[in-house]
Amino acid sequence: MTHPLTLSLRVSALLLSLGLATTACTHDGNDPGVEYAPEMYESIPYEPLRQTTFNTVNSFGINERTPANGTVPRGKLNYFDHIPKDSVRIAERVLHNPYAYTKANLEEGKVLYTRICSHCHGEQGNGQGPVGIIFKGVPNYSAGAYKTMNDGHIYHVIQWGRNRMMPHGSQVNPEERWKIAMYVRVLQRGEGPDALSKLVAKGPTNTTTSDSTETKDATNTAPVGQAQAGTGSETPGEGKTQATNGTAN
């Protein structure tokens, strides 16, 4: 025979479990139900990417604060320079490519150009890409003043855009911009991609201003490495012959 106390304990446990199940289960998908020891997984400090309730301390009720005007994200300092977007003539005089015209760098520039630029500028650099044919007005790199643009000029236009070309500074990091500029120098010869081998370790010669990449010193022609979106040179575009870009974070 079951003792009355044992029976009452069993009934109490059953009722308690039913009550907990009723409380924990809900039709609201955003309700986690009853949380046991929430202090073990709910952070007491504010986490910028976690938002469960209205923040009564910070503005707009959010954990992540809006960055102050003029600030630069950590590790992205190299994405910006001191030259205004409408000062391309200053850029072509001041900015110098820190990378050598090696086969590896030029081939990587070709890949980047094909992926990002060829839809407008065309594989031959003649402005006859699928988009360029429709919208017209895309320049031919091997004609007129376009065939004498140096690396600094091209780098600046990639970063800030010009005329109808939108800026691409947020899409390609500084190292990738320089390598695209190097491949554009190949297309300036009017021979298409076939002219790539002619610039290896020699640099361009059809420019009115010299580039730091115009070198025949074999010690400076080793491949720089793959383009990464990590931290770059502490002094980008100031004529260093050896790149100091690190690997991706």
Answer whether residue 220 shows pLDDT above 90: no
Residue 229 domain-assigned (yes or no): no
CB 75 within 8 A of CB 229: no
Query: Does 228 fall in a domain?
Result: no
Residue 207 lies in a domain: yes
Least confident span in 40-54, 151-165, 170-184 = 40-54
Rounded CA Rg of the chain: 30
- Residue 185: inside a domain: yes
Report pLDDT digits (tens) over 161-192. 998 899 998 899 999 999 999 999 999 999 88
The count of domains in the chain is 1
Residue 225 clears pLDDT 70, i.e. is over it: no
70 located within any domain: no
- Looking at the predicted structure, is the pLDDT value of residue 109 above 50? yes
- Higher local confidence (pLDDT), 140 or 247: 140
Has residue 191 been placed in a domain? yes
Q: What pLDDT, on the 0 to 100 scale, is given for residue 17? A: 66
7 located within any domain:
no
Q: Specify the range with the lowest mean pLDDT, choosing from 24-33, 79-88, 141-150, 158-167.
A: 24-33
CATH of the domain at 193: 1.10.760.10
Higher pLDDT, 115 or 44: 115
What confidence tier does 65 reach under pLDDT thresholds 50, 70, 90? confident
Q: Give the model's pLDDT for residue 61.
A: 85
Find where tokens 């094909």 sit.
Answer: 114
Q: Tell whether 236 is covered by a domain.
A: no
Task: Please give the mean pLDDT across all residues of the chain.
Answer: 76
Q: Which among 185, 176, 117 has a CA at the least distance from the CA of 151?
A: 185
Q: How far apart are CA 125 and CA 146, in angstroms?
A: 11
Higher pLDDT, 71 or 159: 159
Q: Is the pLDDT of residue 232 over 90?
A: no
Task: Let me know: does 189 contact 106? Beta carbons within 8 Å.
Answer: no
| Joined tokens for residue 177 | 């911009």
Range of the structural domain that residue 126 is part of: 83-219
Q: 101 and 203 in contact (C-beta within 8 Å)?
A: yes
Please report, to the nearest 10 degrees, the dihedral formed by the alpha carbons of residues 12, 15, 20, 25 taken in order. 170
